[in-house]
Amino acid sequence: MKKNNIYLKRAIIFVLAIILSYSSTTLYILPYKNASRAVSYYYGSKGKIITDTQTKLKAWGYYTGSVDGVYGYNTYKAVRKFQSKNKLKVDGVIGDRTLAALGINVGSKTSSSSKKYTNNQDVMLLARLINGEARGEPYEGQVAVGAVVLNRTRNSKFPNTVAGVIYQPGAFTAIVDGQINAQIKQSSINAARDALNGWDPSGGAIYYFNPDKATSAWIWSRPLIKIIGKHRFCN
């Protein structure tokens, strides 16, 4: 009987040792396993993700080089500037957090439009601004108005949040005349989501105006990027 108890205790100890060894090994290896799944792009990388990155950074004013899909020195400087502006780790490496901030989904062929934006407060506030400023405009023009707001958040001349840009004193007519509170249309919500997910039909503009209503001579001095509907988009 005593021998049976000794064998049983040894068996239990052996099993516990195996479990403990497996758990320790798993805890040690798991961080490296997860790290190996992360996708990063850096100096010398090539391909579509670099092209998408250059396209976005160029549209937002961070990058001035050619969109060639090659991560060179100018791209490196632009990435670091973008990271600094967006309070990311400034290392020039296009990792998960930087890709997310850029609105690029590496798991899809369509990068920016496939990313789901989850901050409902920003979606609805931007949608109300678009609704007040551009309802009745072509859908592309509605998205472009939203993109202007987002472009401003990335520009040091303006506040760095959606709410800060929208409520900056005198920035938008819809705030002054109360049109931001008009009954919202679904197209405005869709346009806000598209803008937040990275679509920028404005070409990187930080200003727009309706020439039939503009009373400021200064706004006419801004370099024109493109015209969509009744709005002129400029820098």
Domain ranges of the chain: 1-37, 48-102, 120-234
Q: Band of the pLDDT at 122, cuts 50, 70, 90?
A: confident
Of 114, 120, 150, 139, nearest in space to 191 by CA:
139
Q: Which CATH class is domain 120-234?
A: mainly alpha
**94 φ, ψ to 5°?**
-90, 85
The answer to whether residue 149 scores a pLDDT higher than 90 is: yes
Render pLDDT for 176-196 as a digit per residue (tens, 0 to 9).
Answer: 999 999 999 999 999 999 999
Quote the CA–CA distance of 199 and 144 in Å, as a whole number.
8
pTM: 0.52
Structure confidence at residue 139 (pLDDT)? 94
Render pLDDT for 3-12 as a digit per residue (tens, 0 to 9).
Answer: 556 656 666 6
Structure confidence at residue 97 (pLDDT)? 84
CATH topology of domain 48-102: Muramoyl-pentapeptide Carboxypeptidase; domain 1 (1.10.101)
Span 96-112, average pLDDT = 66
Q: Band of the pLDDT at 134, cuts 50, 70, 90?
A: very high
pLDDT over 70, % of the chain: 77
From 69-73, 95-99, 112-116, the region with the lowest mean pLDDT: 112-116
Structure confidence at residue 4 (pLDDT)? 57
Q: What is the mean pLDDT of the chain?
A: 81
Beta bridge partners of 46: 70
**Residue carrying the six token digits 């500037």:** 81
Q: Do domains 48-102 and 120-234 have the same CATH topology?
A: no
Higher pLDDT, 211 or 28: 211
Q: Band of the pLDDT at 129, cuts 50, 70, 90?
A: very high
Structure confidence at residue 214 (pLDDT)? 76
Structure confidence at residue 38 (pLDDT)? 54
